[in-house]
Chains A and B, each alone.
Chain A
Amino acid sequence: MLEIRNLAKSFGGVNATNDVSLDFPDGSLTAVIGPNGAGKSTFFNLITGALKPDSGEVLLDGVDLAGRTPPEIVRHGIGRAFQVASIFKSLTVQETMLAAVSADQRTSAVLHKRFPLPETRDRAEHVMELLGLAGKRDRTAATLSHGDQKLLDIALALVLEPKVLLLDEPTAGMGPEERWRMIDKVRELWETQKITVVFIEHDMDIVFKIAPKIVVLCYGRILATGTPDEIRNDGAVIEAYLGTEHAGASA
Protein backbone atom coordinates (compact mmCIF):
# COMPACT_ATOMS: atom_id res chain seq x y z
CA MET A 1 0.00 0.00 0.00
CA LEU A 2 1.22 3.47 -0.90
CA GLU A 3 0.57 6.11 1.73
CA ILE A 4 1.35 9.76 1.24
CA ARG A 5 1.61 11.72 4.47
CA ASN A 6 1.63 15.53 4.63
CA LEU A 7 3.71 15.84 1.48
CA ALA A 8 4.80 19.41 0.74
CA LYS A 9 6.95 21.18 -1.85
CA SER A 10 7.20 24.83 -2.68
CA PHE A 11 9.07 26.67 -5.41
CA GLY A 12 9.89 30.14 -4.18
CA GLY A 13 6.62 31.28 -2.69
CA VAL A 14 4.40 28.88 -4.66
CA ASN A 15 3.13 25.83 -2.87
CA ALA A 16 3.17 23.32 -5.72
CA THR A 17 2.23 20.53 -3.32
CA ASN A 18 0.69 21.60 -0.08
CA ASP A 19 0.18 19.14 2.76
CA VAL A 20 -1.11 16.28 0.62
CA SER A 21 -2.10 13.04 2.37
CA LEU A 22 -3.52 10.14 0.40
CA ASP A 23 -3.81 6.35 0.56
CA PHE A 24 -3.53 4.12 -2.46
CA PRO A 25 -4.53 0.60 -1.37
CA ASP A 26 -2.94 -2.41 -3.11
CA GLY A 27 -4.56 -3.12 -6.43
CA SER A 28 -6.43 0.17 -6.62
CA LEU A 29 -6.92 2.28 -9.75
CA THR A 30 -6.96 6.01 -9.11
CA ALA A 31 -7.20 9.00 -11.42
CA VAL A 32 -5.61 12.29 -10.49
CA ILE A 33 -7.23 15.29 -12.12
CA GLY A 34 -6.98 19.03 -11.73
CA PRO A 35 -6.62 22.19 -13.77
CA ASN A 36 -3.31 23.13 -15.38
CA GLY A 37 -0.75 24.01 -12.74
CA ALA A 38 -2.63 22.12 -10.05
CA GLY A 39 0.53 20.26 -9.07
CA LYS A 40 -0.27 16.88 -10.57
CA SER A 41 3.09 16.29 -12.21
CA THR A 42 4.90 17.76 -9.20
CA PHE A 43 3.03 15.25 -7.06
CA PHE A 44 4.35 12.40 -9.24
CA ASN A 45 7.84 13.89 -9.26
CA LEU A 46 7.88 13.98 -5.47
CA ILE A 47 6.78 10.36 -5.15
CA THR A 48 9.33 9.08 -7.69
CA GLY A 49 12.28 11.10 -6.45
CA ALA A 50 12.64 13.43 -9.44
CA LEU A 51 12.05 16.20 -6.87
CA LYS A 52 12.92 16.18 -3.17
CA PRO A 53 9.93 17.00 -0.96
CA ASP A 54 10.33 19.81 1.59
CA SER A 55 8.51 17.69 4.16
CA GLY A 56 6.23 14.71 4.48
CA GLU A 57 6.45 10.97 3.93
CA VAL A 58 6.03 8.60 1.02
CA LEU A 59 5.39 5.20 2.58
CA LEU A 60 5.43 2.09 0.42
CA ASP A 61 4.44 -0.89 2.54
CA GLY A 62 5.57 1.09 5.57
CA VAL A 63 9.01 2.10 4.20
CA ASP A 64 9.54 5.85 3.91
CA LEU A 65 10.95 6.71 0.47
CA ALA A 66 10.63 10.50 0.65
CA GLY A 67 13.76 12.27 -0.55
CA ARG A 68 15.49 9.16 -1.89
CA THR A 69 16.97 8.99 -5.38
CA PRO A 70 14.99 7.76 -8.41
CA PRO A 71 17.00 4.51 -8.72
CA GLU A 72 16.36 3.64 -5.05
CA ILE A 73 12.65 4.40 -5.31
CA VAL A 74 12.32 2.37 -8.51
CA ARG A 75 14.00 -0.56 -6.80
CA HIS A 76 11.46 -0.37 -4.00
CA GLY A 77 8.71 -0.87 -6.55
CA ILE A 78 7.38 2.47 -7.76
CA GLY A 79 7.57 2.69 -11.55
CA ARG A 80 6.48 5.58 -13.71
CA ALA A 81 5.78 6.60 -17.27
CA PHE A 82 6.05 10.16 -18.50
CA GLN A 83 3.78 12.76 -20.02
CA VAL A 84 6.11 13.07 -23.00
CA ALA A 85 7.19 9.52 -23.85
CA SER A 86 10.61 9.09 -22.28
CA ILE A 87 12.37 6.39 -24.27
CA PHE A 88 15.76 5.49 -25.72
CA LYS A 89 15.52 6.70 -29.27
CA SER A 90 18.35 4.72 -30.85
CA LEU A 91 17.51 1.33 -29.28
CA THR A 92 15.03 -1.07 -30.78
CA VAL A 93 11.90 -1.98 -28.85
CA GLN A 94 13.36 -5.36 -27.96
CA GLU A 95 16.73 -3.94 -26.88
CA THR A 96 14.93 -1.37 -24.73
CA MET A 97 12.98 -4.07 -22.93
CA LEU A 98 15.96 -6.38 -22.48
CA ALA A 99 18.15 -3.58 -21.15
CA ALA A 100 15.44 -2.52 -18.70
CA VAL A 101 15.13 -6.06 -17.35
CA SER A 102 18.92 -6.15 -17.05
CA ALA A 103 18.76 -2.97 -14.96
CA ASP A 104 16.13 -4.51 -12.72
CA GLN A 105 18.09 -7.76 -12.31
CA ARG A 106 21.16 -5.69 -11.43
CA THR A 107 23.15 -7.01 -14.36
CA SER A 108 23.40 -3.67 -16.14
CA ALA A 109 27.09 -3.37 -15.17
CA VAL A 110 28.07 -6.85 -16.41
CA LEU A 111 31.06 -6.58 -18.74
CA HIS A 112 32.15 -10.11 -19.54
CA LYS A 113 28.97 -11.43 -21.16
CA ARG A 114 27.21 -10.48 -24.33
CA PHE A 115 23.97 -8.53 -24.36
CA PRO A 116 21.26 -9.73 -23.98
CA LEU A 117 21.54 -12.09 -21.05
CA PRO A 118 19.33 -15.18 -21.48
CA GLU A 119 17.57 -14.62 -18.16
CA THR A 120 16.19 -11.27 -19.33
CA ARG A 121 14.30 -12.73 -22.27
CA ASP A 122 11.10 -14.06 -20.76
CA ARG A 123 10.14 -10.92 -18.93
CA ALA A 124 10.92 -8.67 -21.88
CA GLU A 125 8.94 -10.95 -24.17
CA HIS A 126 5.99 -11.07 -21.77
CA VAL A 127 5.68 -7.29 -21.49
CA MET A 128 6.12 -6.71 -25.23
CA GLU A 129 3.30 -9.17 -25.77
CA LEU A 130 1.18 -7.52 -23.09
CA LEU A 131 1.43 -4.09 -24.69
CA GLY A 132 1.16 -5.30 -28.27
CA LEU A 133 4.71 -4.27 -29.15
CA ALA A 134 6.03 -7.75 -29.98
CA GLY A 135 5.41 -7.25 -33.71
CA LYS A 136 7.50 -4.09 -33.65
CA ARG A 137 10.40 -5.55 -31.68
CA ASP A 138 13.05 -4.69 -34.24
CA ARG A 139 11.88 -1.14 -34.84
CA THR A 140 14.10 1.63 -33.54
CA ALA A 141 12.23 3.52 -30.84
CA ALA A 142 12.58 6.86 -32.65
CA THR A 143 10.69 5.48 -35.66
CA LEU A 144 7.64 4.35 -33.67
CA SER A 145 4.35 6.24 -33.85
CA HIS A 146 3.52 8.60 -31.01
CA GLY A 147 1.09 6.11 -29.51
CA ASP A 148 3.58 3.26 -29.68
CA GLN A 149 6.22 5.44 -28.04
CA LYS A 150 3.82 6.07 -25.15
CA LEU A 151 3.20 2.31 -24.94
CA LEU A 152 6.94 1.68 -24.92
CA ASP A 153 7.34 4.18 -22.09
CA ILE A 154 4.69 2.32 -20.10
CA ALA A 155 6.29 -1.00 -21.02
CA LEU A 156 9.57 0.30 -19.59
CA ALA A 157 7.89 0.99 -16.28
CA LEU A 158 5.94 -2.26 -16.33
CA VAL A 159 8.83 -4.56 -17.17
CA LEU A 160 10.41 -3.68 -13.82
CA GLU A 161 7.41 -5.41 -12.21
CA PRO A 162 6.50 -2.48 -9.96
CA LYS A 163 4.06 -2.64 -7.07
CA VAL A 164 2.81 0.81 -7.94
CA LEU A 165 2.62 2.21 -11.47
CA LEU A 166 2.33 5.98 -11.93
CA LEU A 167 1.20 7.10 -15.38
CA ASP A 168 1.53 10.78 -16.17
CA GLU A 169 -1.14 11.43 -18.81
CA PRO A 170 -0.95 8.17 -20.75
CA THR A 171 -3.23 9.67 -23.42
CA ALA A 172 -1.42 12.99 -23.85
CA GLY A 173 -1.27 14.12 -27.45
CA MET A 174 -3.50 11.34 -28.79
CA GLY A 175 -6.56 11.54 -30.98
CA PRO A 176 -9.95 10.53 -29.53
CA GLU A 177 -9.93 6.94 -30.78
CA GLU A 178 -6.33 6.33 -29.82
CA ARG A 179 -7.10 7.69 -26.35
CA TRP A 180 -9.74 5.07 -25.74
CA ARG A 181 -7.50 2.29 -26.98
CA MET A 182 -4.76 3.47 -24.64
CA ILE A 183 -7.03 3.78 -21.66
CA ASP A 184 -8.57 0.35 -22.29
CA LYS A 185 -5.01 -0.95 -22.30
CA VAL A 186 -4.29 0.75 -18.97
CA ARG A 187 -7.44 -0.71 -17.49
CA GLU A 188 -6.60 -4.15 -18.86
CA LEU A 189 -3.11 -3.93 -17.36
CA TRP A 190 -4.54 -2.95 -14.02
CA GLU A 191 -6.98 -5.86 -14.08
CA THR A 192 -4.55 -8.53 -15.23
CA GLN A 193 -1.37 -7.46 -13.43
CA LYS A 194 -2.98 -6.77 -10.04
CA ILE A 195 -0.85 -3.71 -9.43
CA THR A 196 -1.69 -0.34 -7.96
CA VAL A 197 -2.17 2.17 -10.76
CA VAL A 198 -2.37 5.95 -10.41
CA PHE A 199 -2.81 8.02 -13.55
CA ILE A 200 -3.14 11.66 -14.45
CA GLU A 201 -5.77 12.40 -17.07
CA HIS A 202 -7.36 15.48 -18.59
CA ASP A 203 -10.24 13.89 -20.43
CA MET A 204 -13.20 13.88 -18.03
CA ASP A 205 -15.17 11.31 -20.01
CA ILE A 206 -12.31 8.86 -19.64
CA VAL A 207 -11.79 9.57 -15.96
CA PHE A 208 -15.44 9.21 -15.03
CA LYS A 209 -15.80 6.07 -17.09
CA ILE A 210 -12.89 4.00 -15.89
CA ALA A 211 -11.54 5.26 -12.57
CA PRO A 212 -13.17 3.76 -9.47
CA LYS A 213 -11.55 6.52 -7.43
CA ILE A 214 -10.68 10.09 -8.32
CA VAL A 215 -8.44 12.62 -6.60
CA VAL A 216 -8.87 16.28 -7.51
CA LEU A 217 -5.88 18.56 -7.00
CA CYS A 218 -6.06 22.33 -7.14
CA TYR A 219 -3.28 24.78 -6.29
CA GLY A 220 -1.28 21.97 -4.74
CA ARG A 221 -4.04 20.92 -2.36
CA ILE A 222 -6.49 18.05 -2.41
CA LEU A 223 -9.81 19.55 -3.35
CA ALA A 224 -11.77 16.32 -3.18
CA THR A 225 -11.42 12.54 -3.33
CA GLY A 226 -14.11 10.02 -4.07
CA THR A 227 -15.96 7.90 -6.59
CA PRO A 228 -16.90 9.41 -9.95
CA ASP A 229 -20.40 10.11 -8.69
CA GLU A 230 -19.17 11.87 -5.58
CA ILE A 231 -16.76 14.00 -7.59
CA ARG A 232 -19.38 14.86 -10.18
CA ASN A 233 -21.64 16.21 -7.48
CA ASP A 234 -19.00 17.89 -5.34
CA GLY A 235 -19.72 21.62 -5.20
CA ALA A 236 -16.12 22.71 -4.77
CA VAL A 237 -14.97 20.61 -7.71
CA ILE A 238 -17.71 21.88 -9.96
CA GLU A 239 -16.76 25.42 -9.17
CA ALA A 240 -12.99 25.03 -9.41
CA TYR A 241 -12.64 22.64 -12.25
CA LEU A 242 -15.62 21.41 -14.16
CA GLY A 243 -17.29 24.77 -14.46
CA THR A 244 -21.03 25.43 -14.34
CA GLU A 245 -21.65 24.18 -17.85
CA HIS A 246 -20.59 20.64 -16.96
CA ALA A 247 -22.64 20.74 -13.77
CA GLY A 248 -25.67 21.69 -15.75
CA ALA A 249 -25.08 18.88 -18.21
CA SER A 250 -24.77 16.20 -15.58
CA ALA A 251 -27.81 17.45 -13.62
Chain B
Amino acid sequence: MTELEAGHAEALAPAQSGAAFQRYRDILFALVAFAVLASLPLFTGSKALLDFVIRCSAYGLFATSLNLLVGYTGLTSFGHGMFFGLGAYSFGLIMQKLAVSIPVAFAATLAITALIAATIGAICVRLKEIYFAFVTLAFQMLIHSTILSWASFTGGDQGLRGGIPRPAFLGIDLSNHVHLYVTSCALLILGLLAMRQIAQSPFGYTLRMIRDNAARASFLGIDVWRAKLTVFVLAALFASMGGMVMALFVSGAYPEFAYWTISGEGIFINMLGGVSTFLGPMVGTVLLLLLNDTVTRLTEYHGIVLGVVILFFALGLRKGLLDFAAEWVSRRRNAGEGR
Protein backbone atom coordinates (compact mmCIF):
# COMPACT_ATOMS: atom_id res chain seq x y z
CA MET B 1 0.00 0.00 0.00
CA THR B 2 1.40 3.38 -0.95
CA GLU B 3 1.23 6.32 1.35
CA LEU B 4 -1.54 7.79 -0.79
CA GLU B 5 -3.68 4.68 -0.56
CA ALA B 6 -3.15 4.47 3.17
CA GLY B 7 -4.55 7.96 3.40
CA HIS B 8 -7.67 6.80 1.57
CA ALA B 9 -8.27 3.86 3.82
CA GLU B 10 -8.21 6.17 6.78
CA ALA B 11 -10.54 8.64 5.15
CA LEU B 12 -12.92 5.89 4.13
CA ALA B 13 -13.23 3.97 7.37
CA PRO B 14 -15.05 6.62 9.43
CA ALA B 15 -17.36 7.48 6.53
CA GLN B 16 -18.17 3.79 6.23
CA SER B 17 -19.27 3.43 9.81
CA GLY B 18 -20.99 6.79 9.40
CA ALA B 19 -23.88 5.23 7.50
CA ALA B 20 -24.42 2.58 10.17
CA PHE B 21 -24.00 5.15 12.93
CA GLN B 22 -26.63 7.34 11.30
CA ARG B 23 -29.09 4.49 11.25
CA TYR B 24 -28.61 3.63 14.93
CA ARG B 25 -28.83 7.29 15.82
CA ASP B 26 -32.17 7.57 14.00
CA ILE B 27 -33.54 4.48 15.75
CA LEU B 28 -32.35 5.74 19.11
CA PHE B 29 -33.90 9.12 18.43
CA ALA B 30 -37.18 7.42 17.47
CA LEU B 31 -37.18 5.30 20.63
CA VAL B 32 -36.60 8.30 22.85
CA ALA B 33 -39.31 10.29 21.06
CA PHE B 34 -41.73 7.41 21.43
CA ALA B 35 -40.89 6.93 25.09
CA VAL B 36 -41.50 10.62 25.77
CA LEU B 37 -44.77 10.70 23.85
CA ALA B 38 -46.05 7.42 25.27
CA SER B 39 -45.34 8.45 28.86
CA LEU B 40 -47.22 11.73 28.43
CA PRO B 41 -50.55 10.29 29.74
CA LEU B 42 -48.75 9.41 33.02
CA PHE B 43 -48.08 13.08 33.69
CA THR B 44 -51.14 14.79 32.35
CA GLY B 45 -54.82 14.06 32.42
CA SER B 46 -55.41 16.59 29.67
CA LYS B 47 -57.46 14.89 26.99
CA ALA B 48 -57.04 17.94 24.77
CA LEU B 49 -53.26 17.55 24.76
CA LEU B 50 -53.45 13.87 23.85
CA ASP B 51 -55.99 14.68 21.12
CA PHE B 52 -53.62 17.30 19.80
CA VAL B 53 -50.81 14.74 19.54
CA ILE B 54 -53.11 12.27 17.78
CA ARG B 55 -54.04 14.90 15.21
CA CYS B 56 -50.35 15.76 14.83
CA SER B 57 -49.69 12.07 14.13
CA ALA B 58 -52.30 11.95 11.37
CA TYR B 59 -51.24 15.21 9.73
CA GLY B 60 -47.54 14.61 10.38
CA LEU B 61 -47.58 11.30 8.52
CA PHE B 62 -49.46 12.95 5.69
CA ALA B 63 -47.26 16.06 5.45
CA THR B 64 -43.98 14.15 5.75
CA SER B 65 -45.08 11.79 2.98
CA LEU B 66 -45.87 14.82 0.82
CA ASN B 67 -42.33 16.04 1.44
CA LEU B 68 -41.00 12.80 -0.08
CA LEU B 69 -42.64 14.02 -3.28
CA VAL B 70 -42.14 17.78 -3.03
CA GLY B 71 -38.85 18.13 -1.22
CA TYR B 72 -36.97 14.98 -2.19
CA THR B 73 -38.21 14.32 -5.72
CA GLY B 74 -39.39 17.75 -6.85
CA LEU B 75 -42.86 16.42 -7.63
CA THR B 76 -45.28 19.09 -6.44
CA SER B 77 -48.54 17.22 -6.00
CA PHE B 78 -51.68 19.27 -5.39
CA GLY B 79 -53.73 16.13 -4.95
CA HIS B 80 -51.84 14.22 -2.30
CA GLY B 81 -54.78 14.64 0.10
CA MET B 82 -56.75 12.12 -1.94
CA PHE B 83 -54.72 9.33 -0.35
CA PHE B 84 -55.41 10.73 3.11
CA GLY B 85 -59.13 10.57 2.34
CA LEU B 86 -58.78 7.22 0.64
CA GLY B 87 -57.09 5.77 3.71
CA ALA B 88 -59.78 7.09 6.05
CA TYR B 89 -62.66 5.88 3.88
CA SER B 90 -61.21 2.48 2.95
CA PHE B 91 -60.37 1.73 6.54
CA GLY B 92 -63.73 2.94 7.82
CA LEU B 93 -65.71 1.05 5.18
CA ILE B 94 -63.78 -2.18 5.67
CA MET B 95 -64.31 -2.02 9.44
CA GLN B 96 -68.00 -1.19 9.10
CA LYS B 97 -68.93 -3.64 6.35
CA LEU B 98 -66.60 -6.59 6.77
CA ALA B 99 -66.15 -6.86 10.53
CA VAL B 100 -62.51 -7.89 10.27
CA SER B 101 -59.80 -7.18 12.85
CA ILE B 102 -58.07 -3.81 12.80
CA PRO B 103 -54.65 -5.05 11.56
CA VAL B 104 -56.36 -6.81 8.64
CA ALA B 105 -58.27 -3.67 7.70
CA PHE B 106 -55.05 -1.68 8.07
CA ALA B 107 -53.17 -3.96 5.69
CA ALA B 108 -56.08 -4.15 3.23
CA THR B 109 -56.33 -0.36 3.14
CA LEU B 110 -52.63 -0.08 2.36
CA ALA B 111 -53.05 -2.61 -0.45
CA ILE B 112 -56.00 -0.70 -1.92
CA THR B 113 -54.08 2.57 -1.66
CA ALA B 114 -51.07 1.05 -3.40
CA LEU B 115 -53.23 -0.18 -6.26
CA ILE B 116 -55.03 3.11 -6.80
CA ALA B 117 -51.86 5.17 -6.34
CA ALA B 118 -50.06 3.01 -8.91
CA THR B 119 -52.85 3.58 -11.42
CA ILE B 120 -53.09 7.33 -10.86
CA GLY B 121 -49.31 7.66 -10.61
CA ALA B 122 -48.75 5.84 -13.89
CA ILE B 123 -50.76 8.57 -15.60
CA CYS B 124 -49.42 11.54 -13.62
CA VAL B 125 -45.67 11.07 -13.16
CA ARG B 126 -44.98 11.40 -16.88
CA LEU B 127 -46.27 14.96 -16.77
CA LYS B 128 -44.06 17.96 -16.20
CA GLU B 129 -44.32 20.27 -13.16
CA ILE B 130 -47.52 22.30 -13.51
CA TYR B 131 -49.32 19.57 -15.45
CA PHE B 132 -48.43 17.05 -12.78
CA ALA B 133 -49.73 19.42 -10.11
CA PHE B 134 -53.05 19.95 -11.83
CA VAL B 135 -53.71 16.42 -12.97
CA THR B 136 -53.12 15.16 -9.43
CA LEU B 137 -55.57 17.84 -8.29
CA ALA B 138 -58.06 16.64 -10.89
CA PHE B 139 -57.82 13.08 -9.58
CA GLN B 140 -58.36 14.35 -6.08
CA MET B 141 -61.56 16.10 -7.17
CA LEU B 142 -62.62 12.92 -8.95
CA ILE B 143 -62.26 10.90 -5.75
CA HIS B 144 -63.98 13.61 -3.73
CA SER B 145 -66.93 13.73 -6.16
CA THR B 146 -67.18 9.96 -6.12
CA ILE B 147 -67.43 10.00 -2.33
CA LEU B 148 -70.13 12.67 -2.47
CA SER B 149 -72.24 11.10 -5.17
CA TRP B 150 -71.96 7.44 -4.14
CA ALA B 151 -74.10 8.15 -1.08
CA SER B 152 -75.43 4.62 -0.63
CA PHE B 153 -71.90 3.33 -0.09
CA THR B 154 -69.99 6.25 1.40
CA GLY B 155 -72.73 8.22 3.12
CA GLY B 156 -72.33 11.10 0.69
CA ASP B 157 -71.88 14.53 2.21
CA GLN B 158 -72.83 13.19 5.62
CA GLY B 159 -69.71 11.06 5.70
CA LEU B 160 -69.31 7.60 7.22
CA ARG B 161 -71.52 7.78 10.27
CA GLY B 162 -72.43 5.40 12.99
CA GLY B 163 -68.87 5.08 14.22
CA ILE B 164 -66.11 2.74 13.18
CA PRO B 165 -66.12 -0.48 15.18
CA ARG B 166 -62.85 -0.88 17.06
CA PRO B 167 -62.58 -4.45 18.29
CA ALA B 168 -59.63 -5.09 20.57
CA PHE B 169 -56.63 -6.92 19.13
CA LEU B 170 -53.43 -8.16 20.81
CA GLY B 171 -54.57 -6.53 24.04
CA ILE B 172 -54.94 -3.14 22.35
CA ASP B 173 -58.35 -1.58 22.70
CA LEU B 174 -58.58 1.47 20.45
CA SER B 175 -61.86 2.59 21.92
CA ASN B 176 -59.81 3.34 25.03
CA HIS B 177 -58.45 6.85 24.65
CA VAL B 178 -54.98 6.14 26.01
CA HIS B 179 -54.62 3.01 23.86
CA LEU B 180 -55.63 5.01 20.80
CA TYR B 181 -53.14 7.70 21.76
CA VAL B 182 -50.21 5.32 22.20
CA THR B 183 -51.07 3.49 18.99
CA SER B 184 -51.19 6.78 17.05
CA CYS B 185 -47.79 7.74 18.43
CA ALA B 186 -46.39 4.32 17.52
CA LEU B 187 -47.73 4.62 13.96
CA LEU B 188 -46.29 8.11 13.65
CA ILE B 189 -42.85 7.08 14.89
CA LEU B 190 -42.76 3.92 12.78
CA GLY B 191 -43.98 5.83 9.73
CA LEU B 192 -41.39 8.55 10.21
CA LEU B 193 -38.65 6.00 10.74
CA ALA B 194 -39.63 4.18 7.54
CA MET B 195 -39.75 7.41 5.56
CA ARG B 196 -36.40 8.47 7.01
CA GLN B 197 -34.98 5.15 5.81
CA ILE B 198 -36.40 5.77 2.32
CA ALA B 199 -34.93 9.27 2.26
CA GLN B 200 -31.47 8.05 3.30
CA SER B 201 -31.39 4.92 1.14
CA PRO B 202 -29.74 4.69 -2.28
CA PHE B 203 -33.26 5.19 -3.64
CA GLY B 204 -33.53 8.42 -1.65
CA TYR B 205 -30.43 9.71 -3.42
CA THR B 206 -31.89 8.64 -6.75
CA LEU B 207 -34.86 10.86 -5.88
CA ARG B 208 -32.55 13.79 -5.12
CA MET B 209 -30.81 13.29 -8.47
CA ILE B 210 -34.16 13.34 -10.26
CA ARG B 211 -35.13 16.51 -8.42
CA ASP B 212 -31.89 18.26 -9.36
CA ASN B 213 -31.54 17.04 -12.93
CA ALA B 214 -33.80 14.29 -14.25
CA ALA B 215 -32.26 14.31 -17.72
CA ARG B 216 -28.78 13.69 -16.30
CA ALA B 217 -30.14 10.91 -14.09
CA SER B 218 -31.46 9.11 -17.14
CA PHE B 219 -28.02 9.41 -18.73
CA LEU B 220 -26.66 7.51 -15.71
CA GLY B 221 -28.99 4.62 -16.53
CA ILE B 222 -31.77 5.51 -14.10
CA ASP B 223 -35.34 4.79 -15.17
CA VAL B 224 -36.78 8.12 -14.07
CA TRP B 225 -40.40 7.20 -14.70
CA ARG B 226 -40.18 4.07 -12.58
CA ALA B 227 -38.46 5.85 -9.71
CA LYS B 228 -41.09 8.61 -9.71
CA LEU B 229 -43.91 6.08 -9.77
CA THR B 230 -42.32 4.15 -6.90
CA VAL B 231 -42.04 7.20 -4.68
CA PHE B 232 -45.56 8.29 -5.64
CA VAL B 233 -46.93 4.97 -4.40
CA LEU B 234 -44.75 4.94 -1.27
CA ALA B 235 -45.81 8.46 -0.34
CA ALA B 236 -49.46 7.51 -0.89
CA LEU B 237 -49.08 4.63 1.58
CA PHE B 238 -47.93 6.93 4.38
CA ALA B 239 -50.62 9.50 3.55
CA SER B 240 -53.14 6.68 3.75
CA MET B 241 -51.73 5.72 7.14
CA GLY B 242 -52.34 9.29 8.28
CA GLY B 243 -55.91 9.03 7.02
CA MET B 244 -56.43 5.84 9.01
CA VAL B 245 -55.20 7.47 12.21
CA MET B 246 -57.65 10.30 11.53
CA ALA B 247 -60.53 7.87 10.90
CA LEU B 248 -59.76 6.07 14.15
CA PHE B 249 -59.58 9.38 16.00
CA VAL B 250 -62.93 10.76 14.83
CA SER B 251 -64.45 7.29 14.49
CA GLY B 252 -65.68 8.11 11.02
CA ALA B 253 -64.69 9.59 7.69
CA TYR B 254 -65.86 12.80 6.07
CA PRO B 255 -65.68 14.10 2.51
CA GLU B 256 -63.45 16.96 3.72
CA PHE B 257 -60.72 14.36 4.32
CA ALA B 258 -60.55 13.91 0.55
CA TYR B 259 -61.11 17.54 -0.41
CA TRP B 260 -58.41 19.63 -2.08
CA THR B 261 -58.03 21.76 1.04
CA ILE B 262 -56.29 18.81 2.71
CA SER B 263 -53.69 18.83 -0.05
CA GLY B 264 -53.46 22.59 0.36
CA GLU B 265 -52.83 22.22 4.07
CA GLY B 266 -50.15 19.64 3.30
CA ILE B 267 -48.37 22.10 1.02
CA PHE B 268 -48.81 24.83 3.62
CA ILE B 269 -47.34 22.66 6.35
CA ASN B 270 -44.34 21.96 4.16
CA MET B 271 -43.87 25.67 3.54
CA LEU B 272 -44.12 26.42 7.24
CA GLY B 273 -41.67 23.78 8.37
CA GLY B 274 -39.46 23.67 5.28
CA VAL B 275 -38.72 20.97 2.77
CA SER B 276 -34.93 20.88 3.00
CA THR B 277 -34.89 18.83 6.19
CA PHE B 278 -36.61 15.56 7.00
CA LEU B 279 -38.36 16.84 10.10
CA GLY B 280 -39.42 20.16 8.57
CA PRO B 281 -42.96 18.98 7.77
CA MET B 282 -43.34 17.58 11.29
CA VAL B 283 -42.45 20.97 12.76
CA GLY B 284 -44.82 22.56 10.25
CA THR B 285 -47.61 20.23 11.33
CA VAL B 286 -47.30 21.21 14.97
CA LEU B 287 -47.14 24.88 14.01
CA LEU B 288 -50.20 24.73 11.77
CA LEU B 289 -52.33 22.81 14.24
CA LEU B 290 -51.29 25.15 17.06
CA LEU B 291 -52.12 28.15 14.91
CA ASN B 292 -55.38 26.60 13.86
CA ASP B 293 -56.45 25.84 17.41
CA THR B 294 -55.47 29.17 18.93
CA VAL B 295 -56.68 31.34 16.08
CA THR B 296 -60.08 29.69 15.78
CA ARG B 297 -60.54 30.25 19.49
CA LEU B 298 -59.78 33.97 19.16
CA THR B 299 -61.53 34.96 15.96
CA GLU B 300 -63.98 33.62 13.48
CA TYR B 301 -61.84 35.10 10.69
CA HIS B 302 -59.14 32.50 11.20
CA GLY B 303 -58.83 32.07 7.43
CA ILE B 304 -57.49 35.61 7.12
CA VAL B 305 -54.93 35.07 9.87
CA LEU B 306 -53.69 31.81 8.35
CA GLY B 307 -53.57 33.50 4.94
CA VAL B 308 -51.35 36.25 6.31
CA VAL B 309 -49.06 33.70 7.92
CA ILE B 310 -48.81 31.83 4.61
CA LEU B 311 -47.92 35.04 2.80
CA PHE B 312 -45.35 35.88 5.45
CA PHE B 313 -43.62 32.52 4.97
CA ALA B 314 -43.99 32.41 1.18
CA LEU B 315 -43.07 36.00 0.32
CA GLY B 316 -41.23 37.18 3.41
CA LEU B 317 -39.08 34.28 4.56
CA ARG B 318 -39.17 32.23 1.34
CA LYS B 319 -38.25 29.26 3.50
CA GLY B 320 -39.64 27.06 6.22
CA LEU B 321 -38.63 27.26 9.84
CA LEU B 322 -36.31 24.24 9.89
CA ASP B 323 -34.63 25.46 6.69
CA PHE B 324 -33.32 28.35 8.71
CA ALA B 325 -32.12 26.05 11.46
CA ALA B 326 -30.35 23.82 8.93
CA GLU B 327 -28.66 26.80 7.33
CA TRP B 328 -27.54 28.11 10.66
CA VAL B 329 -26.00 24.75 11.58
CA SER B 330 -24.18 24.42 8.27
CA ARG B 331 -22.88 27.98 8.53
CA ARG B 332 -21.53 27.24 11.97
CA ARG B 333 -19.94 24.06 10.72
CA ASN B 334 -18.28 25.86 7.82
CA ALA B 335 -17.02 28.55 10.15
CA GLY B 336 -15.60 25.81 12.38
CA GLU B 337 -13.76 24.26 9.44
CA GLY B 338 -12.47 27.63 8.35
CA ARG B 339 -10.62 28.18 11.60
Contacts and interface: CB of A to CB of B under 8 A. Distances in A.
Interface of A: 48, 50, 69-71, 74-75, 79-80, 82, 86-91, 95, 98-100, 102-104, 107-118, 121, 125, 156-157, 160
Given A108-B202, A110-B201, A121-B16, A91 B221 contact: no
- Taking residues whose C-beta sits less than 8 angstroms from the other chain, chain B's interface range is 20 to 34
Contact of B220 (A104, A121, A125): A104
Given A108-B206, A114-B20, A114-B23, A87 B201 contact: no
Contact of A87 (B23, B202, B213): B213
B261 interface: no
Interface stretch (B38-46, B222-230, B278-286, B289-297): B222-230
B203 A110 contact: yes
Given A99-B202, A112-B197, 18 more contacts: A50-B215, A50-B219, A69-B218, A79-B219, A86-B219, A91-B208, A91-B209, A99-B205, A104-B220, A104-B221, A108-B205, A114-B197, A115-B19, A115-B200, A115-B201, A116-B202, A125-B12, A156-B216
B97 interface: no
B308 to A, nearest CB: 31
A245 B251 CA distance: 86
Contacts, number: 111
Interface string B75-108: 0000000000000000000000000000000000
A240 B12 CA distance: 53
A110 B203 CA distance: 5
B144 to A, nearest CB: 31
Contact of B198 (A100, A104, A111, A118): A111
Contact of B205 (A50, A115, A156, A157): A115
Given A88-B212, A103-B221, A104-B221, A109 B16 contact: no
B8 interface: yes
